[in-house]
Structure 1
Amino acid sequence: MNMERLNKVLKEMEAANTPQMLVSDPAAIFYLTGKWIHPGERMLALYINLNGNNKLFINELFPVTEDLGVEKVWFNDTQDAVEIVSRYVEKDKPMGVDKNWPARFLLRLMELKGGSTFINGSAILDRVRMCKDAAERDLMREASRINDLAVDRMIKLIPEKHSEKKMGQLLLSIYEELGAEGYSFDPIIAYGANAADPHHGCDNSVVKEGDSVIVDIGCVKDSYCSDMTRTVFYKYASDKGKEIYNIVLEANRRAIDIVKPGVRFCDIDAAARDHISAHGYGKFFTHRTGHSIGIETHDFGDVSSVNTDRVQPGMIFSVEPGIYLPGEVGVRIEDLVLVTEDGCEILNKYDKELIIVE
């Protein structure tokens, strides 16, 4: 177990009057133990108790031989795994349960531990994970460094007129060459009118002169994710395309400029959204301004109009305003920012000025 991280979680559990908790999310278990275990439909749970009686409940199908700093409790496919867990759960004490734990397991535990109070314990661990420690920050910097190199290669491939789908396939090879483990999410390569769909799925479309091209990509490196978006134009950019690009770029910069400890996420969102709205395109900015990122591409927390939480040093999130005109053109510019003690560090270094690919 990473004791520094565990102690942070225990401190938050105590403050939240949650003496015990079950963690089932593989990403959260990796965060605390350094071990990835993907259980599929089988039960996996890390039990944390303020009294130190921590256990990892794991199916014999997953032969974890290394010492993870926590006692392993084994079970097999013929046993009632939840009943085994229930032997360690303290009745009549509040019980934090992972938000991702399947209902079939939770309902069984509630049946066995009637009278206990069950609460969503994920908020405790999620908020601890939001503030990255020094090691995590370096891992995020490296993942973004690789992503910068990858986006440069992708943009240079545009004149070869590969389909969006083929570009996505080529990206996987690029990531492997650069030392990444693979995608952090399915890439979005969108030409022309397809770029007006923020979550366009790559299809057989081929780039045409005058198209805006959205390249929204991310990789996983040493279990940490990157994510960035650049929008370029092929051969030329229309006056409308240039106008929209410059508005989005300024929105991106205005939002990043106010990022520092104590600023509310909703105010960061407003810095981007208000600029776009002032130019008459507010209704075409159809998503939140950003999301937290780390072990998962979408960690807990977002940059949205309804999130009044204040940013803290160590948080990493995206700033990705966009304008999408259906049937015409789409522009999105996305960077990851790391909150520092007095401002922020932009993890992406790739140029954001308007690029026309010849």
Structure 2
Amino acid sequence: MNQQRLGKVLREMEAKGLPQMLVSDPAAIFYLTGKWIHPGERMLALYINLKGNNKLFINELFPVQEDLGVEKVWFNDTQDAVEIVSKYVDKESPMGVDKNWPARFLLRLMELKGGSNFVNGSAILDRVRMCKDDQEKDFMREASRLNDLAVEKMIKIVPEEHTEKKMGQILAGIYEELGADGFSFDPIIAYGANAADPHHGPDNSEVKEGDSVIIDIGCAKDSYCADMTRTVFYKHASDKAREVYNIVLEANLKAIAAVKPGARFCDIDAAARDHIEAAGYGKYFTHRTGHSIGIEVHDFGDVSSVNTDKLKPGMIFSIEPGIYLPGEVGVRIEDLVLVTEDGCEVLNNYSKELTIIG
């Protein structure tokens, strides 16, 4: 167990009067133990307790040999795994449970434990994970460095006129060559009118002269995720496309400039959104300004108008304003930022100047 991270979680549990918690999310278990275990439909649970009686309940199908700093309690497919868990938990005290724990396990534990003294404990771990430690920051910097190199290579091959789908296939090879561990999410490659769909799935469309080309990609490295977007134009850009691009770029820069400890996530969203709205394109900015990122490409927390949480040093999130004109053009520009003691560090360094390829 990573004792520093566990200590942060235990302090939050104590502050909230929660003496025990079951963690089932594989990403959260990795955060605490350094080990990925993907249980499928089988039960996996890490029991943490203010008294130190921690246990990892794990199916014998997953032969984890290394010492994870926590006692392993094994079970097999013929045993009632939840009944085994119930023998270790304090039946009289409140119990935190993971927000993603399947109902079939929770209901069984409620039956065995009695009462309804269960609360969502994920908020504690989610918020602890928002502020990255020094090792996590370095992992995120490296993942973003590799992503910068990948997007540079992708932009250079736009003139080869591959389909969107083929571009995604090429990206897989680029990540492998760079030493990344694969995709952190399915890439979004969108040409022309397709770029006006923020989550367009790459298809057999081919790039045409005058198209905007959105390249929204992310790799994983050392179990941490990168995510960035650049928009370029093929052979030429219309006056309208140039106008839209420059507005989005200014929105991106204004939002980054607003990032500092004590600012609210909604303030960052407003910095980007207000600029786009003032330019007359507000209704074409159809999504939040960003999302938190780390072990998962969408960690807990987002940059939206309804999130009034304050920024703290160590938080990492995306800033990705966009304008999407149906049937015409789409532009999105995305960077990851790390909140520092007095501002922020932008993790992506690839140019954001308006670029025409081919």
- Distance of 1:353 and 1:5 partners within structure 2: 40
Q: After superposition, where does 1:347-358 map in structure 2 within 5 Å?
A: 347-358=347-358
2:280 matched residue in structure 1: 280
- Distance of 1:308 and 1:77 partners within structure 2: 45
| CA apart distance, 1:92 | 2.2
- Distance of 2:164 and 2:244 partners within structure 1: 22
- Distance of 1:111 and 1:280 partners within structure 2: 57
Q: Deviations over 1:276-323 (max 9, x none)?
A: 000110010000000000000000000000000000000000000000
2:338 matched residue in structure 1: 338
| CA apart distance, 1:116 | 4.5
| CA apart distance, 1:91 | 1.1
2:306 matched residue in structure 1: 306
1:132 matched residue in structure 2: 132
| CA apart distance, 1:104 | 0.6
Q: Which stretches in structure 2 are left out of the alignment for 5+ residues?
A: none
Q: Deviations over 1:237-289 (max 9, x none)?
A: 00110000000000000000010000000000000000000011001000000
- Which letter does structure 2 place at the counterpart of 1:201? G
- Distance of 2:320 and 2:175 partners within structure 1: 22
DSSP-derived class of the 1:317 partner: strand
Q: Deviations over 1:164-215 (max 9, x none)?
A: 0000000000000000010000000000000000000000000000000000
1:151 matched residue in structure 2: 151
Q: Pairwise CA RMSD of aligned residues?
A: 0.5
DSSP-derived class of the 1:13 partner: helix
1:245 matched residue in structure 2: 245
2:111 matched residue in structure 1: 111
| CA apart distance, 1:115 | 1.6
| CA apart distance, 1:113 | 1.1
1:13 matched residue in structure 2: 13
Q: Conserved in 2, the CA contact under 8 Å of 1:91 and 1:116?
A: no
| CA apart distance, 1:89 | 1.2
- Which letter does structure 2 place at the counterpart of 1:40? G
Q: After TM superposition, which residue ranges in structure 1, 4 or more long, deviate above 6 angstroms?
A: none
Q: Deviations over 1:82-125 (max 9, x none)?
A: 11011111112111000110111111111111124111000000
- Distance of 1:238 and 1:102 partners within structure 2: 51
2:92 matched residue in structure 1: 92
User: Matched residues, percent identical?
Assistant: 84
- Which letter does structure 1 place at the counterpart of 2:49? N
Q: After superposition, where does 1:26-105 map in structure 2 within 5 Å?
A: 26-105=26-105
- Distance of 1:85 and 1:302 partners within structure 2: 34
DSSP-derived class of the 2:251 partner: helix
- Which letter does structure 2 place at the counterpart of 1:314? G
Q: Does 1:219 align with 2:219?
A: yes
Q: Conserved in 2, the CA contact under 8 Å of 1:56 and 1:73?
A: yes
DSSP-derived class of the 2:157 partner: helix
Q: After superposition, where does 1:136-215 map in structure 2 within 5 Å?
A: 136-215=136-215
- Distance of 2:140 and 2:70 partners within structure 1: 27
- Distance of 1:328 and 1:276 partners within structure 2: 17
- Distance of 2:293 and 2:121 partners within structure 1: 20
- Distance of 2:101 and 2:157 partners within structure 1: 43
- Which letter does structure 1 place at the counterpart of 2:12? E
- Which letter does structure 2 place at the counterpart of 1:227? D
- Which letter does structure 1 place at the counterpart of 2:271? A
1:3 matched residue in structure 2: 3
- Distance of 1:115 and 1:101 partners within structure 2: 18
- Which letter does structure 2 place at the counterpart of 1:32? L
- Which letter does structure 2 place at the counterpart of 1:176? E
- Distance of 2:122 and 2:59 partners within structure 1: 22
Normalised by the size of structure 1, how large is the TM-score? 1.00
Q: Conserved in 2, the CA contact under 8 Å of 1:61 and 1:76?
A: yes
- Which letter does structure 1 place at the counterpart of 2:137? R
| CA apart distance, 1:72 | 0.1
